[in-house]
Amino acid sequence: MIMEKLLQVNNLKKHFDLGHGEILKAVDGVTFHINKGETFGIVGESGCGKSTAGRTIIGLYDRTEGEVLFNGKNIHNLKSRERFAFHRQIQMIFQDPYASLNPRSTVSEIISEPMEVHGLYPNKKERMKRVYQLLEDVGLNKDHANRYPHEFSGGQRQRIGIARALALDPEFIIADEPISALDVSIQAQVVNLLKRLQKEKGLTYLFIAHDLSMVKQISDRIGVMYLGQLVELTSSTELYNKPMHPYTQALLSAIPIPDPDVEDQRERIILQGELPSPINPPSGCVFRTRCPAAMEVCASEKPKWQEIDKDHFVACHLYDKNRTGGQDYSQVAATR
């Protein structure tokens, strides 16, 4: 099957100048693409730059370097009318549904607002019909339209946030930790809702989260991010069956296994130390200060982004063929 690219991100960087000569490298050269109709997950610890990457792609932050192509068009060169149309095509769902909804607006006002801004459904009756339809699409109903955000549970508020994101009939949605603030029992419901809407409306998602087990539920492919950089990228299945980067292996080892016998055998890789500061990242491999498999070369040379298996990319010296004589070191990393 030929996949059509919807989004191409090339060497994207977002640095923040903190003054006094300090530069915070929140996103430091990430490259990936997202195919039409798929869900691409970005996973990593808090502070790894995944949310900043999402916000830079949608244009909430100006990029420092690199480019973003949407449907083949460089979004940084769009003229104002094209930019307006682009903003219709790409929407965002935020982590905290309460903070992202205006507490003084009713649900119908919240969902209608983007339509009014974009001049859609100028007829009020038609607009309300659209609001009711969107409420139904996300599992709410028309009786909710005249209520205020505080009258809803966290899960319901996230549904309102999703309805608002759908109001302009977008092609692409960036979901930034959309379930992290919700109870575990509600998380699966929201993930199932997003999956259903994707199928019904042909949506493409960028799903950002710190919880690898939840990212797996929804993503076709996953990029693992550490300190502003991608360290591994492959299909969701491959990542779980054959994680190559020591950081991915550590993240996976933290996920409980539902089978009690297997769970008893689970060996957890505990990462030592805190995430280093993106203001002063380690030399060479940014993961080296916490990596259980670090070698001398890791301090002096930045590992290359290499395709180790088909569509499986890793940045780690353990897989340098010339360094290891062609050996597969993935199991070495896995057992350390």
Report residue 19 as tokens. Answer: 């003054």
137 vs 301 by CB, closer to ligand SF4: 301
51 vs 249 by CB, closer to ligand SF4: 249
Cβ atoms of 99 and 38 within 8 Å: the answer is no
Interface residues toward ligand SF4, by CB under 6 A:
245-246, 285, 287-288, 291, 293-295, 298, 303, 316-318
Q: Please, what is the minimum distance in Å from the beta carbon of residue 247 to ligand SF4?
A: 6
- Could you give the 3-state DSSP secondary structure of residue 92? strand
52 vs 289 by CB, closer to ligand SF4: 289
Q: Please, what is the minimum distance in Å from the beta carbon of residue 251 to ligand SF4?
A: 13
Distance CA 1, CA 230 (A): 26
Q: Please, what is the minimum distance in Å from the beta carbon of residue 333 to ligand SF4?
A: 7
Report residue 120 as tokens. Answer: 């859609």
Cβ atoms of 184 and 201 within 8 Å: the answer is no
Q: Please, what is the minimum distance in Å from the beta carbon of residue 292 to ligand SF4?
A: 8
Cβ atoms within 10 Å of 183's Cβ, excluding its own: 11
Cβ atoms of 41 and 49 within 8 Å: the answer is no
119 vs 273 by CB, closer to ligand SF4: 273
Scanning the structure block, which residue is given the tokens 């649900």?
Answer: 107
- The sign of the torsion formed by the CA atoms of 48, 52, 56, 58 equals positive
Q: Please, what is the minimum distance in Å from the beta carbon of residue 203 to ligand SF4?
A: 34
Distance CA 43, CA 207 (A): 8
239 vs 293 by CB, closer to ligand SF4: 293
